[in-house]
Amino acid sequence: MKLRNTAARSWIPKLVIAVALSCTAAGAGAARKISLYALFQDKAIIIIDGARHLLKSGETSAEGLKLLATDTEAETADVEIDGRRDVLKLGVVTASFASKDKGSVILYPDQGGHFFADGLINGTSVRFMVDTGATVIAMNSDTARRIGIDYTANGTPGVASTAAGYVRTYNVLLNTVQVGAITMYNVPGSVIEGRGPNQVLLGMSFIGQLDMKRDSDKMELSVR
């Protein structure tokens, strides 16, 4: 099913999104939790183990994290901690900090050539089907109710063109979407009235923010 919704991308928040990463303190073996909370020109709000810091480029927090540079267009901040450099990105959670192995997941096609993945939406288990033709993550109304999404109260009504014709939809924001080691916050989604699609379509509001590599027998999604 190909779902198009041109208004959905405008919902992606620019500031109040957190990306949390964990790192091991040098010589201490303790895990740090680091969150990029907000981004400005040459400034960033970074939360380290619950402590909130407003850092300018070149400044270092008491915990030893140095803000090197910010890029508000790319929604990233270059940082250095424990002698290692990494890039924090708004809206994406990875499993490690300053690691060459960033959060990634490898998917394999079924006999029909479709790629599926088990994941979570707002903490509820779902079955995704990768659909690069879908602008946003799309699900039917039964799935939305199972997840606990009150789309009629909190969603924006609209219509979408599908292979079956025009259908009523509700544009919503999904609090969290997780596939493997990759988690994103406040991801645009769409609830379609009726029983279709059978699976949740993993559209471009999620996979469009990742690097995607595909060959004949697998697809790899990884954090940029």
The per-residue pLDDT for range 153-165, each reduced to its tens digit, is 999 999 887 777 8
Integer CA distances (angstroms), 160 to 31, 123, 132, 190, in order = 45, 27, 16, 10
Neighbours of 10 (CB within 10 A): 7
Residue 30 reports pLDDT greater than 70:
no
Q: Which domains does the chain have, with CATH numbers?
A: 8-13+104-223 (2.40.70.10), 19-90 (2.30.30)
Q: What's the whole-model pTM score?
A: 0.56
Within the chain, residue ranges assigned H as helices are 141-147, 151-154, 204-207
Report the percentage of the chain scoring pLDDT > 70.
Answer: 79
Q: What is the pLDDT of residue 129?
A: 94
pLDDT band, very low/low/confident/very high, at 32 (cuts 50, 70, 90): low
Least confident segment among 75-79, 95-99, 156-160, 215-219: 95-99
Residue 96 reports pLDDT greater than 50:
no
C-beta separation of 105 from 192 below 8 A: no
Mean pLDDT within 3-24: 37
First CA to last CA across the chain, in angstroms?
A: 27
Q: Name the region of 122 (left: φ>0; alpha: ψ -120 to 50; beta: rest).
A: left
Q: What is the pLDDT of residue 91?
A: 55
- For residues 222 and 74, what is the distance between their CA atoms, to the nearest angstrom? 17
Residue 158: φ, ψ to 5°: -170, -170
Residue for token pair 């009523």? 168
Mean pLDDT within 188-198: 90
Q: What is the pLDDT of residue 3?
A: 52
DSSP code at position 167? E
Residue 132: φ, ψ to 5°: -70, -10
Integer CA distances (angstroms), 199 to 62, 180, 205, in order = 47, 17, 16
Q: What is the pLDDT of residue 102?
A: 57
Tell me the pLDDT tens digit for each residue of 103-112. Answer: 788 888 888 8
Which distant-in-sequence residues (6+ apart) come within 8 Å of 70 by Cβ? 39, 40, 41, 42, 43, 44, 57, 76, 77, 78
Mean pLDDT within 133-152: 94
Least confident segment among 50-59, 68-77, 87-96, 207-216: 87-96
pLDDT band, very low/low/confident/very high, at 13 (cuts 50, 70, 90): very low
